Amino acid sequence: MRIENELKLDYSDVLLKPKRSTLGSRKDVNLNRVFANFDWNGIPIMASNMDGVGTFEMAKSLSEFKMFTTLRKTYDTSQLVEFFSNKDNCQYAAMSIGITDYDYRKFLDVYSMCKYLQYVCIDVANGYSERFVEFVIKIKEIFKEGKIIAGNVVTGEMTEQLILSGVDVVKVGIGPGAVCTTRIQTGVGYPQLSAVIECADAAHGLNGFIIGDGGITCPGDVAKGFGAGADFIMIGGQFGGHDENPGEIIEKNGEKYKLFYGMSSQKAMEIHYGKMNNYRSSEGRVVTIKYKGPIEVTILDYLGGLRSTCTYINASCIKNIAKCCTFVRVNRQLNTIYS
């Protein structure tokens, strides 16, 4: 038995310390980043490849802001070919796959028919299996000129393993999502702020990148993720409940809602596989999210918050947030008396 006594922190455990700033206005902040090694430039915020978020509609809306979408894994070959045959759709979207034989064949089919495909996301709940690493290597052998996003992991050692196996951007996060119950069902996880700090340090030492995936509850959490060293921040639940999300609007007591569920939930298993196999347990929640209208409203709120963060800590651009930030540990970050 081994116990690690070193303190590990979540986004809610810290605040950013303000500093003297030369920035006179939020409009002086540049949110665009250029990643030469990843062959991409834009605002490094991503929509998650969850059913309710990683849609074609979301990708088209986010691309107008030069933001990225990892498409949900459940699109079939014909749908993906139609989408990625349009060169304009390829710069800000990735095809997502698992590690089954079906996923491998689907990737080969799409890749052979879509010469503009640039990014693929290899997504599994547990990025620590040898099978996952072997699958990454197999895809890299074929997708030599393309860029691979893969995860999820939460430790520096596995981040290094994936980058050395051909991954360009590692997805970091196990259990922090709003509809994820992995930590309850399995007891496995890692506080997200510490996971981002440790994995970013490992990745950057090998000229790789990471995505802070999950745990975002507000614009301030995005700033904290960038401050911890994340190159990209991936958002799931906070991008739910919009026009671009699938599903009908549900009305209850005069309020409008949309359904949102975790990809390891019983509902997701039933939708995509017809049932929950008896060797599994549900590791996701099903919730209703208040209907929010077009995603543009939420995007502008998040980008405005991020610009404001930069003016508080004197960071002229997103890349400089990590250089300019000092975290302060707190017992409470918000006065909730009127919540």
Active site residues: 180, 182
* Beta strand residue intervals within 156-290, DSSP E: 169-172, 209-213, 232-235, 250-252, 255-261, 286-290
**Structure token pair of residue 77:** 């070959």
Which run of H or E residues covers position 15? strand 14-16
Q: How far apart, in whole angstroms, are the C-alpha atoms of residue 264 and residue 274?
A: 13
20: left (phi > 0), else alpha (psi -120 to 50), else beta? beta
Residues 97, 102, 108, 114, Cα dihedral to 10°: -60
Find out whether 297 and 324 touch, Cβ atoms under 8 Å. no
Token look-up 């709940």 returns 125
Peptide bond into 331 cis (omega under 30): no
Helix 192-204 to helix 156-164 angle, to the nearest 10 degrees?
40
Q: How far apart, in whole angstroms, are the C-alpha atoms of residue 267 and residue 273?
A: 10
Q: How far apart, in whole angstroms, are the C-alpha atoms of residue 230 and residue 90?
A: 23
SS3 assignment for 74-108: CCCHHHHHHHHCCHHHCCCEEEEECCCHHHHHHHH
Q: How far apart, in whole angstroms, are the C-alpha atoms of residue 243 and residue 45?
A: 19
Residues 6+ apart with CB under 8 A from 152: 123, 124, 125, 126, 127, 171, 172, 173, 174, 213
